[in-house]
């Protein structure tokens, strides 16, 4: 059963969560490599890197997750932050890959996303 919120109440919920995340004082960087068109033969015509900085709230990982992913990180981020599992996230100078993105709702109001990060391992 969902409890409907008024538009004002929904905005207040989002605002409170935003304040909570921003009050942590921590930020992370997202790097996304964007590859443009490919010419005949496989040569890339365009390549660019898209970077953003966004506020985060670091959360402790459950003990069961620590044994699986080593020194991984769990972050809460604002719902409007554009993150995909192909992105590279840098926290405190350490590079991580996104293992999982979960959206959290409070009775239908999207409050935040939780991203589980694992240490980045280069494919080369």
The answer on pLDDT for 75 being more than 90 is yes
State the average pLDDT over residues 81-102.
Answer: 92
Strand ranges in the chain using DSSP code E only, listed in sequence order: 26-35, 47-59, 73-77, 88-91, 94-106, 109-119
Percent of the chain with pLDDT over 90: 52
pLDDT of amino acid 1: 46
Q: How many CB atoms lie within 10 A of CB 116?
A: 18
Among candidates 95, 76, 79, which has minimal Cα distance to 87?
95
What are the residues facing 41 on neighbouring strands? none
Dump pLDDT digits (tens) for 22-48. Answer: 999 999 999 987 666 666 666 655 556
State the average pLDDT over residues 66-82.
Answer: 80
pTM reported for the whole predicted model: 0.76
State the average pLDDT over residues 93-119.
Answer: 92
């Amino acid at each position: 059963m969902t409890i409907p919120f008024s538009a004002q109440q929904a905005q207040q919920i989002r605002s409170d969560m935003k304040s909570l995340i921003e009050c942590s004082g921590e930020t992370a960087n997202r790097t996304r490599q964007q590859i443009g068109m490919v010419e005949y033969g496989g040569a890339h015509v365009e390549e660019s890197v898209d970077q953003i900085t966004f506020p985060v709230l670091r959360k402790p990982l459950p003990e069961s997750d620590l044994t699986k992913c080593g020194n991984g990180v769990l972050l809460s981020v604002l719902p409007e932050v554009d993150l995909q599992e192909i992105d590279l996230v840098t926290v405190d100078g350490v590079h991580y890959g996104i293992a999982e993105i979960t959206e959290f709702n409070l009775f239908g109001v999207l409050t935040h996303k939780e991203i589980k990060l694992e240490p980045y391992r280069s494919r080369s």
